[in-house]
Amino acid sequence: MSLTLKLYNTLTREKAEFQPLDPQNVRMYVCGPTVYDFAHIGNARPVIVFDVLFRLLRHVYGADHVTYARNITDVDDKINARALRDFGPKIADGSMSLNEAIRAVTGKTESQFQTDVKALGCLEPTHQPRATDNIAEMIAIIQRLLTQGHAYVAKGSEGYEVLFATASMADYGQLSKRRLEDQQAGARVAVEAHKMNPGDFVLWKQSADTEPGWAADFLFEGKNFAIYGRPGWHIECSAMSNRYLWEEIKDRLSPKAKAHPHQFDIHGGGLDLIFPHHENEIAQSCCAYDTDVMANVWMHNGFVQVEGRKMSKSDGNFVTINELLETKTFGGRKWPGEVLRLAMLMTHYREPIDFSVKRLEEAERLLAKWPVVEPGNAAPCETVLEPLADDLNTVAAVQAIHALAQASHHDADAKARFAASANLLGLLPKATEVDEAIAAGVDALVQMRLEMLKAKNFAEADKIRDSLSAQGIQLKDGKDKETGERVTTWELKR
């Protein structure tokens, strides 16, 4: 393994050589979607960016040596609100319970998410845990925090809450570089009387009987608190990352990694998650397990923007992935998944992207120039790997792939390297769909070649055949059974 992988780390604000705790078991966690509404183009960005990193890590360390967990947040007050909105009448007349309505919302949204990300050429992560399948793990961490003096039980306006005590952690704020004092002075967080500090955040929250919840017993200051309730958002990721990247894998880890219990290599998500979400994940995990590190490298993608503003569900300025791929709402036409994927990768992941039809058209034009080939078994080209290994410089990697695509018209070796390199980024043009306009163009060339053959202009005829072949189009000559005349059909090489 000669490739040196460098990654920008939000924790240190520096780019540094990536050194996994155990190269045989590289571990990455990325915050996944809250499934109350279809994923939008902004949500697609971390999915694509970290898919590229997952692919690169698999290339460098071996496909079986990388564990990637991306969660599904299927318990959240936004989900409850959506269930009430969509199924209100049914809940009111008793034909559906709130929990059934919630499952209808999350089930539908999650399955759409899976369809969407598949269409964007993303590999399935090793684990895609749902929050509701990890409640016991969350309760266990919360109890550890209570026992160790990092959390407390308090009564708020909607019942009991277990809160994280930010003041109990000396270096709270290390990721966002926000100091607790500044936060209090800024008073961004509404001061609530039951909180010891305004920045204290919910770990567990009591639910009304009609709200979704789980029975939980917490021991605090010698007293038992039975709180039927639901988890806060941040605790979900602390629980799921620990389960899938430590608990379930620890027996296989190297001695060095075992000497760093509960820690893993990379944690990712969008820029908006640095504070408070990731800061609070760090606080929970480090305090619960008494470590000073949760993940060694923290990576954050920039925003997809619309007219300079972050595309976001709550802002309403969004286009869903499904709308873009399956309807004509954006630019009056449908767009293939690989066009959106390439459009994202034509900007460095830490830069903002202003989303536009022009950007998609640019990506489409580039893809159309690339040959349709099978991945093959050549090695990806150094000219592609090197920029990728430099903090995922996909801009330069795509340029290098394009150069290989151009060279591949006259160079079989370049073509093989193009195939392997484009495949590494999940960008190999698919042989299955042919654009109508392209098909018409091919038909015309096939016809022209038949005329050349009739005129015995074999050199020109061969030229046409070869140029089509370079674009991945295979001609098949045959004879019409009745007239005996030559007929030519074509297909994409598979």
Decide whether 34 or 80 has the Cβ nearer to ligand ATP.
Answer: 34
**Rounded to the nearest whole angstrom, what is the least distance from the CB of residue 399 to Zn ion in the complex?**
33
Considering the complex, state which of residue 237 and residue 363 has its C-beta at the smaller distance from Zn ion. Answer: 237
Query: Interaction with Zn ion in 220-279: which residues (CB under 5 A)?
Result: 237
Q: Cβ closer to ligand ATP: 331 or 352? A: 352
Output the furthest CA–CA distance in the chain (Å, rounded).
98
Which partner, Zn ion, ligand ATP, none, binds residue 237 by CB below 5 to 8 Å per kind?
Zn ion
Residue 270 interaction partner, one of Zn ion, ligand ATP, none, beta carbon < 5-8 Å per kind: ligand ATP
Q: How far is the CB of 188 from ligand ATP (least distance, A)?
A: 16
Instruction: Give burial (CB, 10 Å; 0-12/13-18/19+) of 383.
Output: middle
Q: Does 122 appear as a known binding residue?
A: no
Q: Which residues of 402-427 are buried (b: 16+ CB within 10 A; e: fewer)?
A: bebbeebeeeeebbbbbbbbbbbbbb
Out of Zn ion, ligand ATP, none, which partner does residue 125 contact, by CB within 5 to 8 A per kind? none
Is the backbone of residue 94 left (phi > 0), alpha (psi -120 to 50) or beta?
left
Q: Binding residue per annotation — 281? A: yes
Site track 446-485 with Zn ion (rule: CB under 5 A), x = hit: ----------------------------------------
Closer by beta carbon to Zn ion, 29 or else 303: 29
Asked whether the beta carbons of 189 and 197 are under 8 A apart, the reply is no
Q: Is 313 annotated as ligand-binding? A: yes
- CA 182, distance to chain mean position in Å, is 32
* Polymer length of the chain: 494
Q: In this structure, what token pair is assigned to residue 352?
A: 């903002």
Given the complex with ligand ATP, which of 31 and 122 has the nearer CB atom? 31
Residue 312's identity, in one-letter code, is S
Radius of gyration of the chain from its Cα atoms, rounded to whole angstroms:
27
Q: State the minimum distance, in angstroms, from the CB of residue 41 to ligand ATP.
A: 7
Cα 473 to Cα 160: distance, rounded to the nearest angstrom? 67
φ/ψ region of 391 (left if φ > 0, alpha if ψ in -120 to 50, else beta) reads: left
Give the residue with the Cβ less far from Zn ion, 99 or 176.
176
**What's the sign of the alpha-carbon dihedral 201, 272, 31, 389?**
negative
Instruction: Tell me which residues touch ligand ATP (CB under 6 A).
Output: 31, 33-34, 42-43, 45-46, 269-270, 272-273, 301, 303-304, 310-314
Tokens encoding 325: 């791929």
Least Cβ distance, residue 177 to ligand ATP (angstroms): 18
Q: Check the annotation: does 277 bind a ligand.
A: yes
Alpha helices in 148-267 (DSSP H): 180-186, 233-242, 255-258
Q: Which of 7, 26, 30, 31 binds Zn ion (CB under 5 A)?
A: 31
Q: Are strands 473-479 and 486-492 parallel, antiparallel or unpaired?
A: antiparallel
- The annotated binding site for Zn(2+) is made up of 31, 237, 277, 281
- The annotated binding site is made up of 31, 237, 277, 281, 313
Which residues sit at the interface with Zn ion, rule CB under 5 A?
31, 237
- The annotated binding site for ATP is made up of 313
